[in-house]
Every structure is written in C-alpha cells, then in structure tokens.
C-alpha cells in the first residue's frame, strides 16, 4: 500500500513514542517501536507514518477520530480530574480538559 498520508495511531490518545521516551528518561530503558500500527481510520501503516501532532496529520478520517477522542477525554477529565495516567498530570483538571479541547479544535481545523 502506497499511502502518502500521515495518520493517527488508533486506540490511545498518546502515542507509543511518548511512552518510550518516558521510560527512557525515567529508567534509561529504550524499547523498540512497532514496525507498523493500526490507525484511527483502520488501515495498517508504518509507525513512522503516524503522529499525535494535529499540524502533521493529513488523513481526514484520522483527524476527525482524534478530535472526537480528545473531546470525549476532555469531558472525562473535567468530570473526574486529570488522574495519574494523564499526559497532563500535575495540571489542574480544568487546565487538562482545556488542553484536550484545544487539541480537538486543532484536529478539527483543516491540515
């Protein structure tokens, strides 16, 4: 498959690269990233063709999916608080919710 688009990794809001960098900074361990992943739009692409940054993602279904996931998560954070597993740990829940709403807005904007 010769797909020129940059996608969003399916499943989680934060990417495996973020988890890998966290492990590397805390424990000095560096795990291998997968060769390919399933995207939010359901296709299998090389991991290098994914991003969590709205300004980079060019696949429109992935952008729509990511915007919706960030909106849902913002609502959950606002209701429950940021919690220890949030990438915005240490922020007030309202700030974390606002950050996710901002990401959702940026994914809604055209690439």
Residue ranges of domains in the chain: 16-108
Question: For the range 60-66, what are the long-range contacts, defined as Cβ-Cβ under 8 Å and sequence gap of 24 or more?
Answer: 60/111, 62/5, 62/7, 62/8, 63/8, 63/107, 63/108, 63/111, 64/107, 64/108, 65/8, 65/10, 65/40, 65/41, 66/8, 66/13, 66/40, 66/103, 66/104, 66/107
The residue that leads in pLDDT, 66 or 3, is 66
Which of 12-16, 21-25, 36-40, 68-72 comes out lowest in average pLDDT?
A: 12-16
pTM of the full structure: 0.74
Rounded to an integer, the average pLDDT of 42-56 is: 91
**Mean pLDDT across 32-40:** 81
Q: In this predicted model, what pLDDT tens digit does every residue of 51-88 receive, in sequence order?
A: 889 999 999 999 999 999 999 989 988 887 655 555 55
Average pLDDT, rounded, for the chain? 81
Count other Cβ atoms within 10 Å, centred on residue 2: 3
- How would you classify the pairing of strands 36-38 and 44-46? antiparallel
């Amino acid at each position: 498959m010769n797909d020129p688009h940059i996608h969003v990794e399916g499943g989680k809001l934060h990417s495996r690269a973020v988890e890998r960098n966290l492990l590397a900074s805390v424990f000095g361990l560096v795990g291998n990233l997968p060769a390919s992943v399933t995207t939010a739009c359901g296709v299998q692409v090389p991991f290098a063709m994914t991003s969590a940054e709205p300004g980079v993602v060019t696949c429109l279904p992935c952008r729509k999916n990511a915007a919706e996931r960030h909106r849902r998560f913002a609502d959950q954070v606002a209701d429950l608080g940021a919690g220890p597993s949030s990438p915005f740990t240490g922020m007030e829940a309202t700030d974390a919710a606002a950050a996710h709403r901002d990401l959702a807005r940026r994914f809604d904007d055209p690439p």
